[in-house]
Structure 1
């Protein structure tokens, strides 16, 4: 099971983000990314919200660093860690726009992009951006198919129900022959979309039992990533509990986990990452998926 990082600072949800993140700067973010890179973490993440209505920000938070700018900066600060969007909202962008922006990021990073995408759930944001809401699921399916057709070629062509293009040049394009695409969501449909059109699934806001039931109803192909979140880890103060938390998601069949750790400062955060790496390196992960797990990850 690969360990990824829910990058601090770039998203700040009330009640979750640490106090030090409010005043953190680019140097702090660079220190976190460099530590994760050095310690062998597999990926770090950055989310997307173009805007958040003030009333929603009380719950969702209002701080969301732009993923293209942020991950491009972190690409220059690191050498091996992968750069994952978690997630880009498909309905806000044309597939060719995503292909150009994230193809450039893949080129700049030497092929380290993971494109996490989602259908979107904040209607007020859709409305303010004048993005279609009612048929966003069907549009997302078409956008995913179009993305697969255009991410890794500079001469893309596609003819779908919502997106059509031909006789165009998109340069640069991604250097990976097949950029990993992960679909975020919290419904059975999001898992089916991921299995059918992408390479992985990133559920959120679900109980472990709900995740188990959804996976059991869906045939999971070989090599498909199930990427589960685990927050509130304290590997320095509670290493045994940390190992148990990681073990539960491993037992669910997670191929990767997006970790969030508690911290008092950026230096303490980096120390926590080192301790987390040590905990993970000595833990014996389950080799078979369990049928159910009663614990709630939230």
Structure 2
């Protein structure tokens, strides 16, 4: 999030609590990645489940009722399939889940409402577990712990760099009609810090060229910003400030992972091409 100038009050968060929760989450993620990778898989399942629940609750504000049970079951199948069997299994599991939620909702009742709910459920499947499946593809690789950690740190750098630069320097709104707190200066801060993290990550973690790290930083910020703005549009349409309240200082789980979801496929592909497995 490329925050606008204004200090913590205008950022709308309790900054000490947000920092404490953020550091705690980062510690849990790091421990799961390097103690046992299946632990991170479990965290991903829980995060996607919570995000789907938040999205389902938000949709009810517009009279949309998505079938949550098959979505949750399918989400587990998508993530586990991606981790254990690769990209083809990820696609198959996604298609089965999307088809399953449509059939489930149609069997529950036909008509315009059923079509609307089934469409929303398909969107939720693609938006959350399918995108998260690319993180599982990274995790499954022999050096998957390092790849996923770099992905997570790029997301953190995007948020922190954008917030700090936005508070200190932000004067020019990035997308005032969508997210008034984001600024072009904040976006620049995100680019700088994410590029630094990318360079350090690929050089120290993989012994690769710094240019790869700069490219990763640029890609991560662009996709993260698009993801953040997309969720802001969705929340604006639903007349919500946050998708939930599960994470003190951050809002909901969906508010925390929105930018990461669109970033995951691009980071996965860049790392796969630039740092083939076995290099």
Normalization by structure 2: what TM-score?
0.31
Structure whose residues are more often helix by fraction: 2
Normalization by structure 1: what TM-score?
0.29
Task: Indicate the structure whose relative CO is greater, using CA pairs within 8 Å and at least 6 residues apart.
Answer: 2
Structure whose residues are more often strand by fraction: 1
